Every structure is written in structure tokens, then in C-alpha cells.
A and B are shown apart, each in its own frame.
Chain A
């Protein structure tokens, strides 16, 4: 029987700190030690597949929530739906014309449906995204794409992560690496919940420090142990030391400093994880980080064999 796989979620709070480049490197390094599954939960800006070069095996429709529809034939333009809606999702018709639903604003709460005196409003479950199963040289990748302006990204995140976890459980893969979305809201909460560890990629800027505080509060709130990785550390050594001090005071381990180097962007342009692209100071630093993370995981030795 296979045990529950460990889950590492990579978060950043602030966007653009290099989260996806870091996780691509960790995926490459981890895959050399044991089999893993990968989940990209940044569903409205999913970029991991640009570096992992997946071969898409499955595509699934993701439906979620409800969307109201007003039948123009039945509508008597009384405005009851407009009064009921708290999300500004009803567009009044001009002078006796039927009312319409603004599909982007509609929350799918049905408040309008209940209020309509002539039953002109129905609601249905819309398709708001797609999710995929792909094969990569490093293990199976579960990823998704939320349609532009789509709702319920948290639910899609949960689904993608759950599918990756079940696959790991089935195949006896001891680790799931999760690329998380930026921010601290709905999708981030979904991505972080149930994780063994959260790796927070932070940059040494005032904004980075500010966002780190918020994301650390979040991981603490949900009881997920956090590790911090300082990316582009030499951009401001003052700020880097500030982050290290801040983390020390809160007993949050800092697992490494990655230097600022445009070779990281080069690797991204080439679509290759930096650790597979070139040896050098960045790759060396990431290898050391990975060794520290492995020590925090409870993966048994017999599982540390190649796929």
C-alpha cells in the first residue's frame, strides 16, 4: 500500500519573483531522486508548461457555478431582477426592451431567478475552463486554463491539485510539487491547503518584504510550515539581510539565496529548467536549496529510486 504523498507548494505573494523558474528547477532536481507528480495551480497565468514541455494526454472540460439567462420572449422588463441583483450583473433594456445578463459579473446566486414574476430567468452551469493531464520528462503534469475572466479559480485549483495527488497515490509517487498562484486570496488558499511544506519565493524589495509578511500570515493561518527562498538576493543585500532577520525572529527557515542573473531568463526563453540549462552560480544555489528541502521531507529511502 502506498502512503500519502508529500506536497510542496511554491508560493510568492507578490507575482514575478521567479516562482515558476524555481519550481521548474526543483522539478528537474527532484525527478533525479524519486518519482513525482506536478501540479500547476496558477490557473489564470499558467506558465510552467512553457518550461516543462509537456505532451498533452488528456483534456477535460471544467464547469462551475451558475450563470443566469433571461429569455427575451418572456421578459416583461419590470426590473425586479435588476433590483434583486447585488453584483450589477443585470443590464436594463432600453424602453420596454428585454433585460440582459452581464455574464462576466453574474455570480450565479439565483437571486434574480427567485424575484422574476414571469419565470423568464433560468440558470445553467457554464464551462469556465479546461484542465489537462500531460506527460513531461520529469513526471506527469496536471494543469489547467481558466477562461478569461472566469470565476471559481479556487475550485479549479483544488481539482488540479487533487488529481495530481491521486495520481501520485496510485503510482506510489512520494512527492507532489505544486506551483501556486500569486496573492493570498481564493486560489492561493486552495493551493496551500493540505500542503506538507510551503516554499515562499521572495525578492529583496520593499514590496517583496511586504508581501512575504502577508503570505506568511496566510501559511500560519492554515498551519502549513513555511520555508523562504530569497531570489535575486544581491539586488539589495540590505533587504536580503532584513528578510533573513525577519524570518529568524519568526522561526521561519531561510533555505537559500539565489543570485540575480539574466541566465535565468535565457533558460526560460529556451524553455528549459535553469538547472538543466547551465551549471553556474544559480544552478549551484538551487541544488543546495533542494538538498535542504529534501531533509525536511519524510520520504523513506526505499522510495528514493528512479522511475
Chain B
């Protein structure tokens, strides 16, 4: 089972919910616990889950895009590569071929269309993946995150590689994917293929505005089952509750506005560590999701 945790609006507590959900699941009795548990932090622009889970990293690999390199001996400066590039990442000026790495999406059209075979591709690193283990109450959890290099624009390819390498294959495996904020391509890439999308929001006009868009992406476009967690319950107004009731989106959990939770978060302490009674709450959240997924499937 794959659960993506997303929000639309940033800072609503996505990582908090994802991390606490993980800790609760890993702490379940062996009979109920998935055999293989994986946590993937897909917010490659600002990966933060490691701050809370403190994994021991054992492996790092560079990821990136395939960038064309021109073999000047074979190049006839015909200009076909520049013509076929949909991203204007190649220019041919007289006897010179210029490649603009930041514009290249690595699609390979130039390589394919070059009539003299003068183009080969090399990996241009745009980020890296780190792999490790988190030891939670005896259960070993695999942890992976992607880190986009500062100054690089495209987060999606890093997320894609993270998922390719990190998703478990087994029947009884559980993957939790912490999504980036927003609703554009990196978020869609994270949600794609998930069995369930858990949307974390806050009960304010900002939270509601962005939740609507997130539901549109997850439920209407990707056709995935969704559920909502209201964080900082009690802070704002009734808008989110009303919207969820009207649009048939289940509210699976309400986490009250509590300054102590915010203070623990500030120090990188999880809710279940600071307030052990929440262990049951998050285990309950997992069971609700599992049930919805089983009914849907």
C-alpha cells in the first residue's frame, strides 16, 4: 500500500503527520505491522523528514538529467538538433553548437534526430538521493529522500528517481510518501500510483483554498481515494469542515491547536514522542486508511 501525504498549502503539518503515522505503524504488534515499511521524503526542495526521523544514511547516489554532448568531429552544424528541441536548449551558430543545460529536459530528441550520430548523452547531476534505515521500536524502516541541488529548477526528475528506486514491491509492504507543497508537477509525481492520498490542512481560508485544489488534483484528476487531517483544529473557521461535508471527503483526524505540539515541533520532537497517547491516534488513522483502501480495491 502506498500512502501519499500532501496538502496544497505549505506548513500545514504534512511532514508532522507523515512522520507520526510512520512511527505509529512501526510500533504496531508484529501481526498487524506491514512486513516492509518505507518512508520516502519527496519534498526534494526542502526535505525535512530526516530531521525528525534521524535515519542512519548508508548510501548516496547522484541523479540528474541526460544532457547532450556534441562530438565536433562528426557534427556538420546542420542545425537539426536545435530545430527539434522543444525547450530551446540547443543553438547552432555558424560552426558552433551551444547547449544550455538549465533548459534541457533530457528527452533525447536531439540525439535521435541527429543525422550524423554526433550526439551522445552524459548525466548532468541535479541532485542526489540518500538511503538509510530508521530504527523504530525494533521494526526497521527503510528511509529515502531526494535533495535538489540549489539553483536547479526541476524537482520532478529527482522525485521520479527516488520513487523508482525506493518503492517496495511486496504485497504486504507499506510506503509513506511525504509530498512537497503546492499542486503542480512535483506533487502530481509524488501522488501518482498511490493507493491513498492523505491531505493535511488547517481550518483557515488559506488552508481551505489550497485544499480544494489538492482535492481536485488527487481525487478528480488522478482519481485516487482521499481523506483529510485537520491540523491546528480550532484555530480558524468552519470553512474546511463545511467543504468536506459538502464534497463527501472524509475527515479522518483532527489534531487540536496546541502550543505544546508547536514547541515540540520547533525542537524536532515528534508528537508521539512528546505525547505518547497520540500513538493510538495515529495507529487509528492508519487503520482507517487501510480500510478505505481495502474497500476501494
Contact = CB atoms under 8 A, between A and B. Distances in A.
A305 B40 CA distance: 53
B209 interface: yes
A218 B151 contact: yes
Binding site secondary structure of chain B: loop
A114 B84 contact: yes
Contact of A185 (B9, B148, B268): B148
A262 interface: yes
Classify chain B's interface size.
35 or more
Nearest to B235: A265
A51 B297 CA distance: 42
A185 B186 contact: yes
Nearest to B150: A217
Contact of B153 (A20, A111, A189, A221): A189
A148 B209 contact: no
Nearest to B220: A148
A14 B11 contact: yes
B113 interface: yes
Given A84-B112, A109-B87, A265-B236, A211 B46 contact: yes
Contacts of A66: 86
Contacts of B20: none
Contact of A44 (B109, B182, B237): B182
B180 interface: yes
Contact of A111 (B107, B150, B181, B182): B107
Contacts of B210: 45, 47
A107 interface: yes
Given A47-B9, A107-B105, A205-B266, A181 B182 contact: yes
B98 interface: no
B8 interface: yes
A45 B152 CA distance: 21
B209 A47 contact: yes
B191 to A, nearest CB: 9
B233 to A, nearest CB: 12
Interface in B148-187: 148, 150-155, 180-187
Given A86-B108, A151-B184, A183-B181, A14 B205 contact: no
Interface in A190-219: 203-208, 210-211, 214, 217-218
A150 B84 contact: no
A235 B263 CA distance: 6
B15 interface: yes
Interface string B230-248: 0000011100000000000
B144 interface: no
Interface of B: 8-12, 15, 45-46, 48, 51, 66, 84, 86-87, 105-109, 112-113, 148, 150-155, 180-188, 192, 204-206, 209-210, 213, 216-217, 220-222, 235-237, 257, 259, 262-263, 265-268
Interface of A: 12-17, 20, 44-45, 47, 50, 65-66, 84, 86-87, 104-105, 107-111, 114-115, 146, 148-151, 153-154, 181-189, 203-208, 210-211, 214, 217-218, 221-222, 232, 235-236, 238-239, 260, 262, 265, 268-269, 271
5 contacts: A47-B210, A104-B221, A148-B213, A207-B46, A207-B268
6 closest pairs, A vs B, by CB? Answer: A15-B10, A16-B11, A109-B107, A183-B45, A186-B153, A236-B266
